[in-house]
Amino acid sequence: MQTKKIINDGDDAVDEMLDGILLAHGDTLRASEDSGRAIIARHGPRAGKVGLVIGGGSGHEPTFVGFVGQGLADAAAIGNVFASPPPDPALACVKEVSGGAGVLFMYGNYAGDVMNFDMAAEMAAMDDIEVRTVLTTDDVASAPRDEIEKRRGVAGNFFIFKAAGAAADEMRDLEEVERIARHANARTYTMGVALSPCSLPQTRRWNFDLPEGEMEIGMGIHGEPGIERGPIKPADQIVDEMMDRIFDEMDAEQGDRVAVLVNGLGATPLMELYIMNKRVQARIEDAGISTHATWVGNYCTSLEMAGASVTVMHLDETLQRLIDRPCHCAMFRVV
Amino acid sequence: MQTKKIINDGDDAVDEMLDGILLAHGDTLRASEDSGRAIIARHGPRAGKVGLVIGGGSGHEPTFVGFVGQGLADAAAIGNVFASPPPDPALACVKEVSGGAGVLFMYGNYAGDVMNFDMAAEMAAMDDIEVRTVLTTDDVASAPRDEIEKRRGVAGNFFIFKAAGAAADEMRDLEEVERIARHANARTYTMGVALSPCSLPQTRRWNFDLPEGEMEIGMGIHGEPGIERGPIKPADQIVDEMMDRIFDEMDAEQGDRVAVLVNGLGATPLMELYIMNKRVQARIEDAGISTHATWVGNYCTSLEMAGASVTVMHLDETLQRLIDRPCHCAMFRVV
Amino acid sequence: MDANDIKAMLLAAADAMDDARDELCALDGEIGDADHGVAMSGGFGAIRTAIADLDGAVPTDVFNTAAKAFLNAVGASSGPLYATAFMRAGAAVKGKKQIDDADVPGLVSAMAEGIAHRGKAAPGDKTMLDAWGPASDAATAAKGQRAAVVLYAAADAAAAGAEATAGMQAKLGRAARLGARSLGHKDPGATSAAMLLKAMAKSMEKG
Amino acid sequence: MDANDIKAMLLAAADAMDDARDELCALDGEIGDADHGVAMSGGFGAIRTAIADLDGAVPTDVFNTAAKAFLNAVGASSGPLYATAFMRAGAAVKGKKQIDDADVPGLVSAMAEGIAHRGKAAPGDKTMLDAWGPASDAATAAKGQRAAVVLYAAADAAAAGAEATAGMQAKLGRAARLGARSLGHKDPGATSAAMLLKAMAKSMEKG
Ligand SMILES: Nc1ncnc2c1ncn2[C@@H]1O[C@H](COP(=O)(O)OP(=O)(O)O)[C@@H](O)[C@H]1O
Ligand SMILES: Nc1ncnc2c1ncn2[C@@H]1O[C@H](COP(=O)(O)OP(=O)(O)O)[C@@H](O)[C@H]1O
Ligand SMILES: [Mg+2]
Ligand SMILES: [Mg+2]
Ligand SMILES: [Mg+2]
Ligand SMILES: [Mg+2]
């Protein structure tokens, strides 16, 4: 039996979604002439500014396209569902946003994305546009600390992209924006939990199974298996397991400040995310650190997967300033 | 088998959610001294301004609490899941936001809400605070046109509250704010479709069943049965059935403008909502009218229900100005 | 019968609502929003707590305490309806330390009137009034008999009335939108009303 | 063998990928993200369309067209890997109008090298290279025999290699995070590689 979706032909889902997005947000977004899968910020890209290009597979909305706009990303290259975009849209993004100060690619650390964006970067080099790359690796569950370079990028993208986008918006040079992006990535930690599978529009089959009553901690945002499966626990226990792991990675000192994202994977109601946030904030207070800002909602999803993730960004003066800097995206605003 | 939720004790879900909300959004929201179920806007209520108090059952987040803030509602009275708040929190809201110019109650037209808010209004009268009431009835599927007073308020609350909140923010008097609220309600039309049931935190059982492969058009946001059940159709057909019905109610003339909300019920991904929006906008263009502004996302949910609704507000000069007026709520902003 | 007997009656009702919680939610799920059991067990649970620390009270105090507790714990439709019912019951026996058998029919009628007044339902609208109405009539008809007998008569009439709601088209409440589709489903509020009265009758019999 | 035979081979591969779409998605679901079948059938579907209107072409043109079509339709991991494989194949037969049996081992090895170059995988990493590597060796060993025979040898070696991946721990790709948990599951990319080669061999036999 097919999973329930409000779609037409599953193979058209991504392109129809992008049409719907441009119809709703044409004031801030447009498609590139060269590629319908390259979505460009109408305001943002400008001469002398480092261009920030993000991207990855579809199915994580509002990531990535929702974070394109003034003060954040200048463009996003959009792939098929859970599939890296090919080099062409990424290259189209580069050409559209390049303001002479170079371009930074930022995306989650997945084999496919690395290969495709690297090919795009090689092509850009042929046009004498300097492209640097910073991979996000915030998913602490995706590899042990001694293999940090194997970790995946998940909901923490939200903070990492935001910091880099703000740095570029401050007209810092490529060197500096890259440095800040790496710094932001190094200080951002995410743990996720999944309660149900999701299904691709093209297959309409559950992409894995998670039996009644069970949850999986550390599951990837594409349904990649996680680190521990077991019976669903109370919210406070789930959050405690996440926070223990996050605190374990982050060596915060008394009085340090953090930014928090309690993120829904798609099918989990705000009620549950805010219940989680209550515990997250209690744990942060117990740790003797304080929360500078909190976001709660669906920021990095996995289609209709039920579950959530908690991201903590360990702030310093620079990161706090960059996170607070206004931005205007179709699906996210800081004022 | 219990439904999967990230909660602690189901009976504490609403209060823990509110704690989590205040922890995340303490800069814009606070709880009333008199009642933890009365959430007040830190900025907004002021002397001489009509106070706008909204409210209803929980489980629809960001409706209602998310729309409390400067330029929109001054306070929300929060009930248990899918249950009207008792008179006490509503009365507490009235006392907190009354600025001497009277208070307007706005909420969806449900028997329970009417009884409880009416009792609160009677109590407020004893304190010589004038309270008027405007019920929202935007769900065109919930009763025939000749029984329009029986219709329910659903996602259209978003536009109707916004218009009334902006009118109050313009410092119009109670008479005028009430008139505008009724006017906004009369020009707002919503049609919904449900793909899956939801479950109460206290019971963790599906509150109705919707067999594999089936959808129900016109289902209420509490799972109240709708008007037509059948196999899931392609997105374009679903939207066409909704828009036919909406156009049928709204006598728009060529060149008229509308505001559009494509709303997710909880478990439906943005991808599907934007696919729907593509068709919605095509139908609007075909009708010879034009879209002034579009919102797409989860604005009025039914816990983890899968499904969506389309709301069209038939604008005029006044309504357009009021919809465009800036507001700053914890979960919704117009800048 | 004194305040403690009233308390005992309410505690018995509270237990009955706990037992019936899921059944009532399921009934409400068929034509409403699946929360009636939560509302009733939550409301009477609040009554249980509120009357626990209520010493040396007269019956009216117990009813008024119950009204406030139920209302603020529940909201929903049942909150105002039962709160008003209990306030009317309290008023009906105002000033009395003891209630005798002859007062019981008046108590039941007062509750029914409170519900009718608050909800503005008409008989046949497929609401809890279709249980409370018949209950009131039966109690009045049984006047002169022992309290337990009166309450059993009311409970039986309420049960019959609840059964009859299956044949009614809802005119009020969430089920109203269903029209004909509400046929064949018992109204949850009428069903819980019958259960309440039965539990109260039982406890009266014991006490 | 000319451009049309290459086209026929690719069309046969495209049909094979359509047939295997759900099976490959299911395999990928066990250790990856459940989309490998979508990627392969989508990629070869794009090849099908692209080479349809490609007349009077030489083999290299067909391979280059296939490379571009697959890459832009798919992205993902398989996109760059197969795009590079096809570009290398095109380069291997550059300038030739006709390909004879002796060229076929070189074609297979070129594809394997392209995948190795692009993906930087090592044998035993549990990737499609564990099918393409053995395929390349077998093809080279079969040099001198008829094209179909060479391709069958490659296909059999690829199939054996794919089976062997079930016993490997993933070191690259999405499955890498699984470590030991990836044991017992065949790698989807290696599996599709074996299917491709088999379909190509069959079509060569016919043509
Ligand atoms: N106006 C009314 N008058 C009398 N009873 C009503 C009225 N509206 C609803 N009811 C009763 O309330 C019951 C539903 O109660 P409940 O589920 O607790 O509240 P809600 O409908 O707000 O979820 C219905 O079954 C019906 O018996
Ligand atoms: N670096 C690599 N080198 C060779 N093959 C790889 C590499 N990374 C992944 N693969 C192959 O790609 C397959 C997955 O392809 P696919 O599912 O289409 O892409 P994605 O992993 O992006 O979803 C894996 O089964 C593996 O065989
Ligand atoms: Mg993929
Ligand atoms: Mg209810
Ligand atoms: Mg109910
Ligand atoms: Mg895959």
pLDDT digits (tens, 9 = 90+) for C20-47: 999 999 999 888 899 999 999 999 999 9
Contact indicator for B52, B161 with CB cutoff of 8 Å? yes
Going from the Cα of A92 to the center of ligand 3, the distance in angstroms, rounded, reads: 21
Please name the residues in contact with B205: beta carbons below 8 A apart, sequence gap of 6 or more.
Answer: B2, B3, B199, C22, C25, C26, C34
Omega of the bond prior to A64 within 30 degrees of 0, cis?
A: yes
Give the relative orientation of helices C188-206 and C129-141 as an angle to the nearest 10 degrees: 30
Known catalytic residue at A60: yes
For the cut 70, the answer to whether the pLDDT of residue C158 exceeds it is: yes
Distance CA C81, CA C87 (A): 10
Distance CA A4, CA A2 (A): 6
Contact indicator for C112, C129 with CB cutoff of 8 Å? yes
Q: Which of C118, C126, C127 to mutate to test the pocket of ligand 1 (most atoms within 8 A of CB)?
A: C127
Q: Cβ atoms within 10 A of the Cβ of C98, count?
A: 12
| pLDDT band with cut points at 50, 70 and 90 for residue D173 | low
Report CA Rg, chain C: 16
For a pLDDT cut of 90, what percent of chain C falls above it?
A: 86
Task: Give Cα separations from B288 to A239, B239, B252, B291, D110 (angstroms).
Answer: 51, 17, 9, 10, 58
For the cut 80, the answer to whether the pLDDT of residue A194 exceeds it is: yes
Task: Give Cα separations from B271 to A7, A12, A261, D15, D74 (angstroms).
Answer: 9, 11, 22, 29, 19
- Start-to-end CA span in chain A (Å): 46
Chain D's closest residue to A139, CA to CA, is D177
Sheet holding A51-58, edge to edge: A29-31, A38-41, A75-81, A51-58, A103-108, A131-136
Contact indicator for B160, B63 with CB cutoff of 8 Å? no
A23 and B306: CB-CB below 8 Å?
Answer: no
Residue D165 DSSP one-character state: H
Distance from CA of B268 to the nearest CA of A (A): 6
Going from the Cα of B83 to the center of ligand 4, the distance in angstroms, rounded, reads: 4
B62 and A270: CB-CB below 8 Å?
Answer: yes
Of all helices (H) and strands (E), which one includes residue C37? Answer: helix C36-52
For the cut 80, the answer to whether the pLDDT of residue D181 exceeds it is: no
Sheet holding B131-136, edge to edge: B29-31, B38-41, B75-81, B51-58, B103-108, B131-136
φ and ψ at residue A131, rounded to 5 degrees: -120, 125
Q: Of A175-179, A286-290, B216-220, C195-199, which gets the smallest average pLDDT?
A: B216-220
For the cut 90, the answer to whether the pLDDT of residue A152 exceeds it is: yes
Omega of the bond prior to D59 within 30 degrees of 0, cis?
A: no
What is A230-273 written as a DSSP string?
A: EE---HHHHHHHHHHHHHHH----TT-EEEEEEEE-BSS-HHHH
| pLDDT band with cut points at 50, 70 and 90 for residue C179 | confident
The 3-state DSSP composition of chain C as helix, strand, coil percent (nearest 5) reads: 75, 0, 25
pLDDT digits (tens, 9 = 90+) for A39-70: 999 999 999 999 999 999 999 999 999 999 99
Confidence (pLDDT) at D174: 64
A224 and D76: CB-CB below 8 Å?
Answer: no
Is the CB of A1 inside 8 Å of chain D's CB atoms?
no
Confidence (pLDDT) at C173: 65
pLDDT digits (tens, 9 = 90+) for D140-161: 999 999 999 999 999 999 999 9
Contact indicator for B71, B166 with CB cutoff of 8 Å? yes
Distance CA C200, CA D41 (A): 69
Mean pLDDT value of segment B167-177: 98
Known catalytic residue at B60: yes
Query: How does the average pLDDT of chain B come out, rounded?
Result: 97
| Ligand 2 neighbour A200 (Cβ under 6 A) | no
Mean pLDDT value of segment D100-110: 97
More confident residue, D29 or A326: A326
Q: Cβ atoms within 10 A of the Cβ of D197, count?
A: 28
Catalytic residue (choose from B25, B183, B222, B314): B222
Distance from CA of C101 to the nearest CA of B (A): 33
Distance CA A63, CA A52 (A): 15
Tokens of A156: 């923490």
Mean pLDDT value of segment B205-233: 91
pTM strictly above 0.90: yes
Ligand nearest to the CA of A113: 2
Catalytic residue (choose from A60, A183, A292, A328): A60
What is A75-137 written as a DSSP string?
A: EEEEEEETSPPPHHHHHHHHHHH--SS-EEEEEE--HHHHHHHHHHHHHHHHTT--EEEEEE-
pLDDT digits (tens, 9 = 90+) for C88-105: 999 999 999 999 999 999
Omega of the bond prior to D105 within 30 degrees of 0, cis?
A: no
| pLDDT band with cut points at 50, 70 and 90 for residue B308 | very high
Distance from CA of D79 to the nearest CA of A (A): 7
Confidence (pLDDT) at A1: 84
Distance CA C81, CA C125 (A): 15
In this structure, the strands spanning B131-136 and B103-108 are parallel
Contact indicator for C72, B120 with CB cutoff of 8 Å? no
Distance CA C138, CA C149 (A): 10
Distance CA A333, CA D194 (A): 49
Task: Give Cα separations from D28 to B66, C16, D114 (angstroms).
Answer: 40, 52, 22
Distance CA B305, CA A298 (A): 15
Distance CA D141, CA D133 (A): 13
Report CA Rg, chain A: 19
- Estimate to the nearest angstrom the gap between the alpha carbon of C14 and the chain centroid: 11
Residue A149 DSSP one-character state: G
Tokens of A259: 């930014």
Tokens of A256: 């340090």
Distance from CA of A72 to the nearest CA of B (A): 17
Please name the residues in contact with A126: beta carbons below 8 A apart, sequence gap of 6 or more.
Answer: none
Beta-carbon contacts below 8 Å between B and C: 113
| pLDDT band with cut points at 50, 70 and 90 for residue B287 | very high
Q: Helical H runs in A147-229?
A: 157-169, 174-186
Confidence (pLDDT) at C174: 64
Contact indicator for B217, B226 with CB cutoff of 8 Å? yes
Confidence (pLDDT) at B202: 95
Contact list in B for residue C76 (CB cut-off 8 A) is 57, 79-80, 83-84, 112, 116
Please name the residues in contact with B174: beta carbons below 8 A apart, sequence gap of 6 or more.
Answer: B50, B101, B102, B103, B104, B130, B132
Mean pLDDT value of segment B196-214: 94
| pLDDT band with cut points at 50, 70 and 90 for residue D177 | low
Contact list in B for residue A70 (CB cut-off 8 A) is none
Contact indicator for A156, A258 with CB cutoff of 8 Å? no
For the cut 80, the answer to whether the pLDDT of residue D24 exceeds it is: yes
Closest to B155 measured CA to CA, from B302, B294, B283, B332: B302
| pLDDT band with cut points at 50, 70 and 90 for residue A329 | very high
Mean pLDDT value of segment B308-325: 98
Tokens of C190: 């009428």
For the cut 80, the answer to whether the pLDDT of residue A228 exceeds it is: yes
| pLDDT band with cut points at 50, 70 and 90 for residue B227 | confident
Q: Which of C78, C118, C136 to mutate to test the pocket of ligand 1 (most atoms within 8 A of CB)?
A: C78
Is the CB of D39 inside 8 Å of chain A's CB atoms?
yes
| Ligand 1 neighbour C43 (Cβ under 6 A) | no
Is the CB of B8 inside 8 Å of chain A's CB atoms?
yes
Confidence (pLDDT) at C136: 98
Tokens of B221: 């946001």
